[in-house]
Amino acid sequence: MTLSERQNRILALLNQAGGSLTSSELTQAFEVSVQTIRKDLNILSHQGLVQRVHGGITLPHQNRNLSFSNRLVINLAAKQAIAQAVAARLPEGASVFLGIGTTPQQVARALLHHPGLQVITNNLNAAVTLCQNPNIETLVAGGRIRPSDQDLMGEDTTRFLRRFQVNFGILGAGGINAKGELMDFSLEESHLSRAIIDCSDQCILVTDSSKYLRSAPVRTGCISEVDMFVTEQLPAPINALLRDTHTEVICTSTQETPHEPT
């Protein structure tokens, strides 16, 4: 089920508000009736995207990621814009890691007409997409398939990625906390993300704004470790954290860099 524009905006507001909103705040923000907001909240709650509480909603407290099908529809337009921005910055002939998740999957789709790359990935959907472009050499890591997430995991997968040193590593994150730490939902995911960070000349983080303050239990690293952060909307606290770092920030809503990296 595809989320409506208002439902996506509710999720964005919930993140910006620190994870809690009242129904009254939502009806005022969108100038709609309580009944209309209640329908939206019921849909979001049914998909596990919010938790209903008395008088409003909060971000769900989860030790597991949302289902793959749910993640596919959250902020889809934003993820597509992020993907196009990344694809436009990859030069012909570059070597690339492409990590797990729905935003890296959108990056693969944005690369359908790229003149040529070498891509190493454990993202099955990305691999199937990339094989449609004969100018892209795709190397797929072995390992254990996670049917729920349509990717490959495990020690063999991580070991395979660590055999390379690539030009660009593209990864997502389960969440970004208030300290700017990159969070994941399992140690396996964290190990893979860490391999991409460690074995890339330039690391590109791709996440939409719904990941800000999203709960996930495993700490992978810090946003200041990445060279480029591509998002559709940058929360002010994250922008402040990155102001004195080397990280370049691209906001697709404006196609501007909020600050120059040091």
Q: pLDDT per residue over 129-171, tens digit each?
A: 999 999 999 999 999 999 888 899 999 999 999 999 999 999 9
Instruction: List the domains of the chain with CATH numbers.
Output: 5-61 (1.10.10.10), 70-251 (3.40.50.1360)
Instruction: Provide the pLDDT for residue 8.
Output: 84
Instruction: Provide the pLDDT for residue 237.
Output: 84
The CB-based long-range contact list for 146-150 (8 Å cut-off, 24+ gap) reads 148/67, 148/68, 149/65, 149/68, 149/100, 150/68, 150/123, 150/124, 150/125
Q: Mean pLDDT of all residues in the chain?
A: 88
* Encoded tokens for 243: 């102001």
Q: pLDDT per residue over 205-244, tens digit each?
A: 999 887 887 778 899 999 999 999 999 988 888 888 898 8
Of 48, 41, 49, 3, whose CA–CA distance to 23 is shortest? 41
Residues 6+ apart with CB under 8 A from 210: 11, 12, 15, 74, 75
Specify the residue for token string 């921005």. Answer: 85
Other beta carbons within 10 angstroms of residue 198's beta carbon come to 14
Of 142, 139, 137, whose CA–CA distance to 115 is shortest? 137
Instruction: Provide the pLDDT for residue 149.
Output: 84
Q: pLDDT per residue over 21-57, tens digit each?
A: 889 899 999 999 989 998 999 888 887 778 888 888 8
State which amino acid sits at residue 226.
V
